[in-house]
Amino acid sequence: MFSRILIAWSLMALCVVIHASGMTFALRLWRHPKAAARGFLRATWFFIRLAAWIVLLHMLEITTWALVYVRNNAIADLQSALYFSAVTYTTTGYGDVVLPREWRLVGAVEALTGILMCGWSTGFFFAVVSRMFGVKSHPAES
């Protein structure tokens, strides 16, 4: 059991590395998002590219979990592992494909990791949009 928890935490850490690297790359690539805000079509195209980049990061993370499931014979084939991993990572949880008993806690850690990474992505997207349009938050007045 301890070895599987170690695998789960290692995968979580790898997801953080993938996400941090991807977000850092996006920040460097799109240094000046205000320029993209000039015009509806330019802004929309920027949002599409940013969303696609974020989804790609999540897909890399989902694939990482799936490859570990297949490599350790927790799920028989890659297609099923990718499906299970996507459903678990996004916390959709259909339940039609399940892990063996000894791997179930790893699946739970994947779901928690997915929640964190999706939250991070949402915060990042919001920060970029706020920067684009110069939205400033004001502390609540008492």
- Our measurement of the distance from residue 49's CA atom to the centroid of its chain's CA atoms, rounded to an integer in Å, reads 16
pLDDT in tens, 68-110: 999 999 999 999 999 999 999 999 999 999 999 999 999 999 9
Neighbours of 51 (CB within 10 A): 12
Model confidence pLDDT, tens digit, residues 121-130:
999 999 888 8
Instruction: Kindly report whether the global pTM for this prediction surpasses the value 0.75.
Output: yes
At the second CATH level, the architecture of 2-133 is Orthogonal Bundle (1.10)
Report residue 17 CA to chain centroid gap.
11
Nearest by Cα to 59 from 121, 1, 107? 121
Give residue for tokens 């014979």: 73
pLDDT of residue 30: 76
**Model confidence pLDDT, tens digit, residues 21-37:** 999 999 888 776 665 66
Cβ atoms of residues 93 and 113 within 8 Å: no
Residue 76 contacts residue 34 (beta carbons within 8 Å)? no
Kindly tell me the burial class for residue 123, based on how many C-beta atoms sit within 10 Å of its own C-beta (0-12, 13-18, 19 or more).
Answer: exposed
